């Protein structure tokens, strides 16, 4: 069996705001996007929390991995994951 290799890797900072009119809570995650050359889900994003903990808003997990078959599917999954905890990406 052939080992998959990484074609592309990028690090970004994702900022999400808690979706409430009276709240000013923000989250910062360091996101590492990797695209592999083969596999069922060749696109993955590794999220690691890097910032100040929210005051009153619920806190998502500090580390999370999201895998998807394509980059657009990954974007949808990330948005749904943040919405599950009440946050919206900026």
Q: What is the pLDDT of residue 1?
A: 58
In a domain, 40, yes or no: yes
Burial of 87 (0-12, 13-18, 19+ CB in 10 A): buried
Q: What is the pLDDT of residue 88?
A: 94
Give the pairing type, strands 6-18 and 26-36.
antiparallel
| Structural domain of 43 | 6-89
What pTM does this model have? Answer: 0.87
In a domain, 21, yes or no: yes
In a domain, 10, yes or no: yes
| pLDDT tens, position by position, 5-42 | 999 999 999 999 999 888 888 999 999 999 999 889 99
């Amino acid at each position: 069996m052939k080992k998959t290799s990484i074609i592309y890797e990028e690090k970004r900072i994702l900022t999400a705001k808690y979706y409430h009119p009276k709240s000013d809570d923000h989250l910062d995650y360091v996101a590492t996007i990797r695209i592999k050359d083969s596999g069922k889900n060749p696109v993955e994003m590794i999220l690691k929390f890097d910032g100040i903990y929210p005051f009153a808003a619920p806190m998502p997990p500090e580390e999370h991995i999201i895998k998807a078959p394509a980059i657009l599917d990954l974007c949808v999954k990330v948005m749904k994951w943040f919405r599950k905890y009440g946050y919206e990406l900026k």
